[in-house]
Amino acid sequence: MDHKDAVRLKATERYLLNELDPDLLDQFEEHLFDCQECALDVRAGAMFVEQSKNVLTETPQSAPTPVMPSTQKNWLSWLRPAVAVPVMALLLAVVAYQNLMEWPAIKSASALPEIVPYATMNIATRGATVPVIAAKPGQNFSLLVDVPPDGDFSSYIADLYNPAGKIEWSLAIPAAAVANDSLCVRVPGTNRPGGVYVLALRGIRRESNGPSEIGRHSFELRLQ
């Protein structure tokens, strides 16, 4: 999922409302790691929802409590001007504070460079040495892959297998992304358990009906 797809699908709003199906949810969560704009929208929206819940759960002291069925009391009581006006004023104050103070701070923090754990591997060899990546739960990490030189590949596909041996995701990589026979694969750390994973690399030739596997290598993810 790219940013245009996220905007078209209104993914941010549907994500906050828990309306995304499992496939779109996984795609959007992976997209959040690469799109600062969507990540900022989600953080800001979550903050606004949380603040709104706090405001709406407070009971105004000055508003009289009408006698009505309990099933309607909680919702209809907010329609009275004595309650609705102060609540809306407080919500506007929360929005103004977030626009002036909190959201710029979040945007500034998201723009800072991040040092992520990484491991180096030669995809063409299956040695006994398994590189170890020590990362915090949910933290991104990178795999620096040595790719065998072959100018006949027009693109690549990286497949990540989880400790159970099932493919977790696939990433299409243009040939231009391989520089000096080296490739950097950025792995999002969303809810990923520790264990031994496998990265497999496939190449697509210009005159071929399908990709062919170049090699694969294991690495161990240790959560701190």
Residue 21: CB atoms within 10 Å: 8
13-17, 36-40, 69-73, 91-95: lowest mean pLDDT where? 69-73
Residues 142, 116: contact at Cβ < 8 Å? yes
Determine the average pLDDT of the residues in 119-144.
86
More confident residue, 75 or 131: 131
- Is the pLDDT at 163 greater than 90, yes or no? yes
For 8-52, the pLDDT digits (tens) are 888 888 887 888 888 888 888 888 777 877 777 777 777 766 666
Distant-in-sequence contacts of 177-181, Cβ < 8 A, 24+ apart: 178/147, 181/146, 181/147, 181/148, 181/149
Measured between alpha carbons, how far is 102 from 150 in angstroms, rounded to an integer? Answer: 50
pLDDT (mean) for 141-163: 87
Mean pLDDT, the chain, as a whole number?
76
Cα distance between residue 123 and residue 178, in whole Å:
13
Confidence at residue 83, expressed as pLDDT on a 0 to 100 scale: 47
Cβ of 158: how many Cβ atoms within 10 Å? 19
Strands 141-146 and 118-122: parallel
Domain ranges of the chain: 3-110, 118-223
User: HSE on the CB side for 173, CA within 13 Å?
Assistant: 24
β-strand partners of 172: 157
Query: CA-CA distance, 196 to 162, in Å (whole number)?
Result: 7
Phi (first) and psi of residue 172, to 5 degrees: -80, 130
Residue type, 130: V
pLDDT above 90 covers a percentage of the chain that reads: 17
State the pTM of this model. Answer: 0.50
How confident is the model at residue 108, as a pLDDT? 53
CATH architecture of 118-223: Sandwich (2.60)
What distance in Å separates the CA atoms of residue 131 and residue 149, rounded to the nearest whole number? 22
Q: Give CA angle at 215 (134, 175), nearest 5°.
A: 90
Segment 165-200, tens digit of pLDDT:
999 988 998 888 888 888 888 888 778 899 999 999
